[in-house]
């Protein structure tokens, strides 16, 4: 089997991956604004139900029942549960944390993928991998600053989201032979099912304005557009070649956090973001040399 070349990444793939993370940064900004007004389970339900509807309109006419045809139903359902949990944790933490800080912590996902891949896929933990994992943890401590006001339950929620996202990515590796459209559809479908069951526990009466409804639909549509751009980018270039460009997400999150909420990270937080991004980029470079098409995936939870 021939590996795709990682020496040159097409400019169209770069534009798509940057567009994807821009969509995710916009989605996170809307979620953070809505999270102070609406229950988190409702926002998660709106996120995935919109994606399900969008995919049905787009793909159902051509695919029909093939949209749910899979040879690994159990793994698809597990992935759906993991992604739904990641969404719940991340949105809940985002309600109380600055956008840039939460986004930076979510980029621990590639580091956690390495740890889980060693445990679940039997991959070898080399000295360089240990160093990258340690660097990522140091960056995390610089951001959450134990003992400071920021170190609270919100930080732990974001870290739980990163852990669930890492497990989601590892499980995705186990479904490499599946149709990517099916693999994209199942998590959204599972998310809608879970949130529909969970919602009664949070009450059925909510004060939702028409602006809230429009913004919740926007969360789903913009998030779905981001995922489609992500898939299109990965069809043109390998993950190891595209992952470095995903870190522009941190720039978008910082800018939007400042414009929308007046939040700017302090010097130590910026340094922690740089450490996490640097360790992630070096990890990607190391994985690219080790296996041409490998590499830790981006730390994207949306």
Q: What is the pLDDT of residue 210?
A: 92
Q: What is the pLDDT of residue 201?
A: 66
Q: What is the pLDDT of residue 292?
A: 44
Q: What is the mean pLDDT of each run of 10 residues along the chain (302 residues)?
A: 53 88 95 91 92 89 88 90 94 91 84 72 70 80 67 82 86 78 88 85 72 94 87 74 80 92 87 82 66 50 69
| Domain-embedded: residue 6 | no
pTM: 0.82
| Domain-embedded: residue 194 | yes
| Domain-embedded: residue 295 | no
Distance CA 2, CA 293 (A): 10
| Domain-embedded: residue 298 | no
* Residue 200 neighbours by CB under 8 Å, 6+ apart: none
| Domain-embedded: residue 195 | yes
Q: What is the pLDDT of residue 293?
A: 39
Phi/psi at 107 (5° precision): -80, 10
| Domain-embedded: residue 188 | yes
Domain membership of residue 272 as a residue range: 12-290
Q: What is the pLDDT of residue 294?
A: 40
Question: How many domains does the structure of the chain reveal?
Answer: 1
Tokens 């990607």 found at? 284
Distance CA 21, CA 247 (A): 8
Three-class SS of residue 69?
Answer: coil
Q: What is the pLDDT of residue 266?
A: 84
| Domain-embedded: residue 297 | no
Q: Is the dihedral of CA 284, 285, 290, 294 positive or negative?
A: positive
| Domain-embedded: residue 1 | no
Spell out a b/e string for 248-264, using b for 16 or more CB atoms within 10 Å of the CB, else e.
bbbbbbbebbeeeeebe
H-state helical runs in 107-152: 109-120, 127-144
Query: Hey, what are 82's tokens?
Result: 């993991």
């Amino acid at each position: 089997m021939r590996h795709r070349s990682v020496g040159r990444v097409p400019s169209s793939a770069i534009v798509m991956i940057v567009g994807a993370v821009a969509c995710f940064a916009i989605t996170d900004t809307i979620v953070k604004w809505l999270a102070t007004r609406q229950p988190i389970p409702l926002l998660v339900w709106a996120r995935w139900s919109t994606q399900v509807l969008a995919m049905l309109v787009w793909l159902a006419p051509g695919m029909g029942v093939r949209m749910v045809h899979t040879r690994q139903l159990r793994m698809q359902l597990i992935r759906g549960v993991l992604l739904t949990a990641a969404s719940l944790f991340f949105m809940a933490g985002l309600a109380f944390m600055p956008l840039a800080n939460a986004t930076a912590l979510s980029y621990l996902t590639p580091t956690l993928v390495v740890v889980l891949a060693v445990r679940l896929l039997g991959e070898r933990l080399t000295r360089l991998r240990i160093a990258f994992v340690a660097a990522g943890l140091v960056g995390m401590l610089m951001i959450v600053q134990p003992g400071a006001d920021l170190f609270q339950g919100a930080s732990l929620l974001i870290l739980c989201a990163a852990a669930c996202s890492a497990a989601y990515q590892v499980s995705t590796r186990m479904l490499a032979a599946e149709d990517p459209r099916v693999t994209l559809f199942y998590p959204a479908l599972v998310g809608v099912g879970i949130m529909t069951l969970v919602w009664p526990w949070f009450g059925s009466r909510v004060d939702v304005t028409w602006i809230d409804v429009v913004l919740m639909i926007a969360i789903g549509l913009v998030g779905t557009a981001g995922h489609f751009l992500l898939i299109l980018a990965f069809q043109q270039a390998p993950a190891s070649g595209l992952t470095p460009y995903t870190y522009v997400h941190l720039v978008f999150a910082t800018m939007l956090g400042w414009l929308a909420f007046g939040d700017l990270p302090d010097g130590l937080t910026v340094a922690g973001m740089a450490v996490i991004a640097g360790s992630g980029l070096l990890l990607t470079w190391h994985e690219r040399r080790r296996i041409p098409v490998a590499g830790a995936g981006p730390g994207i939870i949306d």
